[in-house]
Amino acid sequence: MKKTKVLAVFLIVLLFSSISIFAYSGDYYDIKIGKNYSQGETVRISSDNDIFILDSYNFDVNRSYYSGFEYLDIGLDSYGDLSVFDDEGYEVDVRNDDILLGNIGSNSVVTVNGKKYRGYISFVINSNRLNIINKVEVDDYLKGVLPKEMSQSFPIEALKAQAIASRSFAYVNKDKYIKNGYNLDDTTASQVYGGMEVETDKTNQAVDETRGIMMYYNGDVANAFFHATSGGVTEASKDAWNGEYIPYLQSIEDPYSTKHKSTNWEISYSLSELTKLLSNKDDFGNINGLEITSRTSSGRAKEITIYGSNKTGTMTASNFRNSLGNTKCKSTLFEILGGSSTVTQIDEAKIEEILSRPNPKYATDEGEIEVVNFYKLIALSENTTTSNSSVSSDDIVIKGKGYGHGVGMSQYGAMEMAENGMDYKDILEHYFRGVSIY
């Protein structure tokens, strides 16, 4: 296995035009940003000021490179090693992988392919791909998270609640990708992060006014999950992902999440469309019908039974939602409806046994007669059942409520609570029962 190579990028401080040792305080995170770069691709690192190559061991300007560069182009060479080219097109001989890049100033801002980020840039090589890492102080990171996770048009108390939730989430999940050489990424797998480009005055205010504040449960930082809107009831963590019981992540009634446009939604599919969408999950064949066969404590679908021409099988509701698309099937709090609203379920072995029975005979004045159809019709009907929660029609309709996994804080619920005069503590204590906030 190829050893992961890490190149840290740090800010240095230049005082009175002299080179000084860099020192920082605060909590820094390594955030993987953007795409993974293959051999032959390059990423341009620049700044409003010059970019310097630094020494990671003593945080000084690298003695081989006293001058800064207008920009540096970084990529992987044909051997899978780091290559660096300067602003005049000359290759920079970087012999030690553990180098630093940064611009000089107390408020470092670097640019990656034209997009600005606070802090520094580092690089990790994983599986012959170049990962770009933004090394950033935690609250500067949150300033690039908040506008991507909650609209700046929301009331300030809702934004403060989001800032504390996001700070707590980042702390608990800091080592999520540590084996890859960084802490978190910039996608929904962690928290969506857009760097300095997306910052607004109002979301920055929410971060600054809650600086250092997190949620705790029994002395430990709480894992603060959040979603768009619960649809009226949140989901327990153990039900959402078959995970562990977490006391502060239980299902609660949420009357503040019933007015948003995503509270009620509806999508429809033909059976042929469903057949195509579910074909990568299992060999069901042509889909004939669906049924919700179990639900969680919040009433969300937990397991879906799929009736197909090849087989009848089951699928978790979360996988079913993923197959349809999470932006279309917005949550698992749904019902399945259709034109006929029923799926006929037949016990084939029982039916065969019924049809093989001798027909009953009765004595009459005209002699003995045999009753054929009526008797078997009754027996057949008794062994053929229907379910009102499933469908078998050309058009299947899924009616749902809410948007997202439903665990933790409803963001639109937080908005409504703030609009009703509640502060960030009221909001967080509603969605995370039993937590302390400080």
Q: Give 164-191 pLDDT, tens digit per residue.
A: 999 999 999 999 999 999 999 999 999 9
Examine the fold and report which residue of 356, 382, 408 is the final residue of a domain before the chain moves on: 382
Is the confidence at residue 339, as pLDDT, over 60?
no
- In Å, how far are 283, 286, 340, 341, 348 from 385, measured between CA atoms? 25, 22, 14, 13, 12
Q: Which of 127, 208, 136 is nearest to 174 (CA)?
A: 136
* Same domain (yes/no): 20, 51: yes
Q: What is the pLDDT of residue 366?
A: 59
Q: What is the pLDDT of residue 15?
A: 29
- At 241, the pLDDT band (50, 70, 90 cuts) reads confident
* Same domain (yes/no): 374, 330: no
Range of the domain at 275: 265-344+387-400
Is 310 part of any domain? yes
Q: What is the pLDDT of residue 351?
A: 57
Is 239 part of any domain? no
Q: Which of 9-23, 202-216, 220-234, 365-379 has the lowest mean pLDDT?
A: 9-23
Q: Give 100-155 pLDDT, tens digit per residue.
A: 677 766 678 899 999 999 988 888 999 999 999 998 999 999 999 999 999 999 99
Is 247 part of any domain? no
Average pLDDT over residues 283-299: 92
Average pLDDT over residues 31-44: 95
Q: Give 59-114 pLDDT, tens digit per residue.
A: 455 556 667 899 999 999 989 988 999 999 999 887 655 666 777 666 788 999 99
Q: Give 302-311 pLDDT, tens digit per residue.
A: 999 999 999 9
User: How do 28-37 and 184-185 pair as beta strands?
Assistant: parallel
- At 22, the pLDDT band (50, 70, 90 cuts) reads very low
Q: Give 254-263 pLDDT, tens digit per residue.
A: 999 998 887 8
* Same domain (yes/no): 391, 377: no
Average pLDDT over residues 25-50: 89
Is the confidence at residue 392, as pLDDT, over 90?
no
DSSP for 258-312?
A: SSSTTSSEEEEEEHHHHHHHHTTT----SEEEEEEEEE-TTS-EEEEEEEESS-E
Average pLDDT over residues 37-49: 92
* Same domain (yes/no): 339, 352: no
The answer to whether 164 and 152 are in contact (CB under 8 A) is no
Is the confidence at residue 156, as pLDDT, over 80?
yes
The percent helix, strand, coil of the chain (3-state, each to 5) is 25, 35, 40
List phi, psi (to 5°) of 105.
150, 160
* Same domain (yes/no): 374, 393: no
Q: What is the pLDDT of residue 361?
A: 63
Q: What is the pLDDT of residue 426?
A: 98
Is 332 part of any domain? yes
**Element at 45 (helix H, strand E):** strand 42-55
Q: What is the pLDDT of residue 391?
A: 44
Is 336 part of any domain? yes
Number of domains in the chain: 3
Is the confidence at residue 435, as pLDDT, over 90?
yes
- At 394, the pLDDT band (50, 70, 90 cuts) reads low
The answer to whether 300 and 329 are in contact (CB under 8 A) is no
- At 25, the pLDDT band (50, 70, 90 cuts) reads very low
* Same domain (yes/no): 299, 378: no
The answer to whether 33 and 42 are in contact (CB under 8 A) is no
The answer to whether 159 and 166 are in contact (CB under 8 A) is no
DSSP for 48-102?
A: EEEEEEEETTT-SBPTT--S-EEEEEEEE-TTS-EEEE-TTSPEE----S-EEEE
Q: Give 402-431 pLDDT, tens digit per residue.
A: 999 999 999 999 999 999 999 999 999 999
Is the confidence at residue 388, as pLDDT, over 60?
no
Q: Which of 224, 220, 278, 241 is nearest to 396 (CA)?
A: 278
* Same domain (yes/no): 307, 369: no
Is 221 part of any domain? no
* Same domain (yes/no): 300, 359: no
* Same domain (yes/no): 43, 112: yes
Q: What is the pLDDT of residue 395?
A: 84
* Same domain (yes/no): 292, 362: no
Is the confidence at residue 249, as pLDDT, over 80?
yes
* Same domain (yes/no): 340, 378: no
Is the confidence at residue 3, as pLDDT, over 50?
no
Average pLDDT value for the chain = 83
* Same domain (yes/no): 305, 333: yes
Is 283 part of any domain? yes
Examine the fold and report which residue of 120, 137, 154 is the final residue of a domain before the chain moves on: 137
